[in-house]
Amino acid sequence: MGKGHLDKIAVVTGAAGGIGQAFAKRLAQDGAHVVIADLNPATETVKLVEAAGRRAIACKCDVASPDSVAALAKDVELTFGRCDILINNAGIYPLKPFDEMTFADWRHVMSINLDAAFLTVSAFIPGMKQRGWGRIVNMSSSTVSTVVTHYAHYIASKGGVVGFTRALASEFGAYGITVNAISPSLTRSPGTLSRAPRFGRNSMDEEFAALAARQAIPRPEIPEDLVGAMSFLTSDDAAFMTGQTLYVDGGMVRV
C-alpha cells in the first residue's frame, strides 16, 4: 500500500483502458478510491478497483467540455465529497503532416490534451487548496524531447502540459499541493495498437520494435511501466517534489 494513499479520492481521466486503467488499478491497490472519467464504458476498470477492495465510480465525461467536467466535479462531490488526487491522463495522438494539418485538427488535439487539464484542475484545485493537500499528475510525452515528425499539434500540446505543470507548481506549492508530469515513450496499449503505424512502417509491432532498439531498456513500454512513478508522485513521499517532469521511457531521453 502506498504511503499516504489510504482512503484518498483519486480522479483519473481516460481510465477506461490502457495507461489510465493501469493507474486506477494501482491507486486502488495503494488504498485510494477511484473516479474513472472517460467517454468509453469503464466496467472493467471499476471491477479492477473493486477487486482491490476500494470503491469506484465511472463517470461519462468529455474532458474537453466545460459542462461535462462541471458535471464530473458534481458527481465526485456528491459521491465522495472531495478530490485529493487528480491524474490528467486522457489524450489523443493522431498522426498528420503539418502541411496537411488544419486549424480544426490543431484545436481538437489541444482541446483534449491541454485545455482539458485546465478544466479539471480548475474544478478540483479549490478543494485541495482549502484542505491543504493535493496531488496532480499530468501526462506529457517524450516526443517533446525527441526527433519525431507528423506530430506538431501533439508535441505542442504536450509541451504546453509541461509549462502548465510548472506554473501550477509555483502557484500552489504553499498549500500542500504538488503538481508534476510524467513523460512516457510510445506505450503498448489498446489505443496505440489500434492506430495505423507511422509512415514507412508496415505494422505497429514493427514501430514498437524500432523504437525499443533506440532505448537503454530495449523493449516496448507497457502501461505497467508507468504506475510506479505515478504512485510515488501521488504519495506523501513526494511531498517536497513539484514542478518536475519524469521521463519514464526506457532511457530514451536523458535530462
Question: What single-letter amino acid sits at 204?
Answer: M
For 81, phi then psi, to 5°, come to 85, -10
Residue 86 DSSP SS3: strand
Cβ-contact 120, 62 below 8 angstroms: no
Catalytic annotation present for 247 = no
Question: What single-letter amino acid sits at 157?
Answer: S
Print the SS3 string covering 95-133.
CCCHHHCCHHHHHHHHHHHHHHHHHHHHHHHHHHHHHCC
Question: What single-letter amino acid sits at 247?
Answer: Y
Give the dihedral sign, CA 13/16/22/28.
positive
> What nine digits make up the cell of 223?
502501461
Give the dihedral sign, CA 4/12/224/209.
negative
Catalytic option among 151, 154, 175, 247: 154
Question: With the CA atoms of 244, 249, 250 and 251 taken in that order, what torsion angle do they form, in degrees rounded to the nearest 10?
Answer: -60
Question: What single-letter amino acid sits at 236?
Answer: D
Q: Which positions are annotated as active-site residues? A: 154
